[in-house]
Amino acid sequence: MARNDIAPTNIFNKLSIEDLNIKDKRVFIRADFNVPLDDNQNITDDRRIRSTLPTINYAIDEGARVILASHLGRPKGKVDPKYSLRPVAKRLSRLLNKEVLFLEDCIGAEVERAVKNMAKGDVILLENLRFHPEEEKNDENFSRALASLADYYVNDAFGAAHRAHASIVGIPRFIPGAAGFLMRKEIQYLKGAVESPVRPFVAILGGAKVSGKIGVLENLAQKVDKVIVGGGMAFTFIKAMGYEAGDSLVEEEMLDLAIRIMNRLRESKVKFYLPVDCVIAQSVEKGAETKIVPVQEIPKGWKALDIGPASTRLFAEVIQDAKTIIWNGPMGVFEIDAFSRGTFAIARAVADAYALTIVGGGDTDLAVHRAGVSDSISFISTGGGAALQLLEGKELPGIAVLKDKT
């Protein structure tokens, strides 16, 4: 069982919702309700909605008038019914056990009228912010129109905190802004783990491409004790070492960089682990013929789609004595059963470690849930790109714009 009782270092120095006097005030809460929907507009996973409930409930309990806003999908600045937040309003009503009034737009006379008529503790959900192209353009007039709805702004959308959009960085230029509980927790765990980890500190990186994780690898090279690389990105490193990778995913333009990263890790005395065997197939399909081979013996026409059993044992041993673990990216194409064993085995090993365990990224989040171990992970981040930027050591625009406590 993971050690879940380790408190993250309190390094968050921004105002939070508790620092605002929101009693009887209108509070604009930017949430991340970018949830998956099926073809019938049913929510298939509401974890992102649930993660914002502490902030929403606090505002309700304080007697605030709560205005919720979010994006959903990529409607490209046009109204598209399949990206409507109406299903989110229904789910919120059930989770909050009170009516959530859904509005057909996020600005305009009708929205202003509804906000004006709110009573203490009322909750309104605005329609998808990205139905307006001005949202992603960070348009000043659009920001001002949204800000005019409220007295205070609270950002609880960590998953969008790396975007310089109107509802993320525009609104707090016009009204006082603070972080919600989820935002604060995300920063405390992700930044706290990297800046002051309990050692040994192990980073596990997977997913398809090295290019998406370069910054993370370079930043963590100075901070971690061990790095495990799996997933498709491992085969760029394996090819860089002079081995053939068959038809596995390899970023040819990243080979020189892969060598530089390995040299830098070696110079920093960071132990670096790659798969030693893998599960291969000729196609990424259910029912495809599979083989387990050493990574040096992948034949032409075959591609590596999961780490093999020897790699799984090796990685599990590396993880065993860790005291801090950050995991971002699966070990293979875990959505298909034949290529899921490596990812699920690593999920169980992370969950069993007596360590502070942090999982970041949408695919990894899904993997630990499918492996049935999410309750044994210390913290599961709601942000993919935002979590990666934070692990790279970059400041997020959505955090930078909020006022410091001092």
Catalytic residues: 48, 209, 362, 385
Look at phi and psi of residue 121 and say left if phi exceeds 0, alpha if psi is from -120 to 50, else beta: left
Phi, psi of 386 (to 5 degrees): -65, -40
* Token pair belonging to 158: 């960590």
If one counts every other C-beta atom within 10 angstroms of the C-beta of residue 352, the result is 16
Q: What is the DSSP string of 33-102?
A: ----B-TTS-BS--HHHHHTHHHHHHHHHTT-EEEEE---S--TTS--GGG-SHHHHHHHHHHHTS-EEE
**Side chain identity at residue 355, one-letter code:** A
**Side chain identity at residue 16, one-letter code:** S
Strands of 271-273's sheet in order across: 271-273, 226-229, 201-205, 324-328, 356-360, 379-380
* Token pair belonging to 16: 């939070």
* Token pair belonging to 374: 């999410």
| Matching residue, tokens 């969950």 | 351
Residue count of the chain, please give it: 406
Q: Which are the contacts of 50, defined by CB distance < 8 A and separation ≥ 6?
A: 95
* Token pair belonging to 392: 């790279």
CB 125 within 8 A of CB 92: yes
E strand or H helix at 144, and its extent? helix 140-147
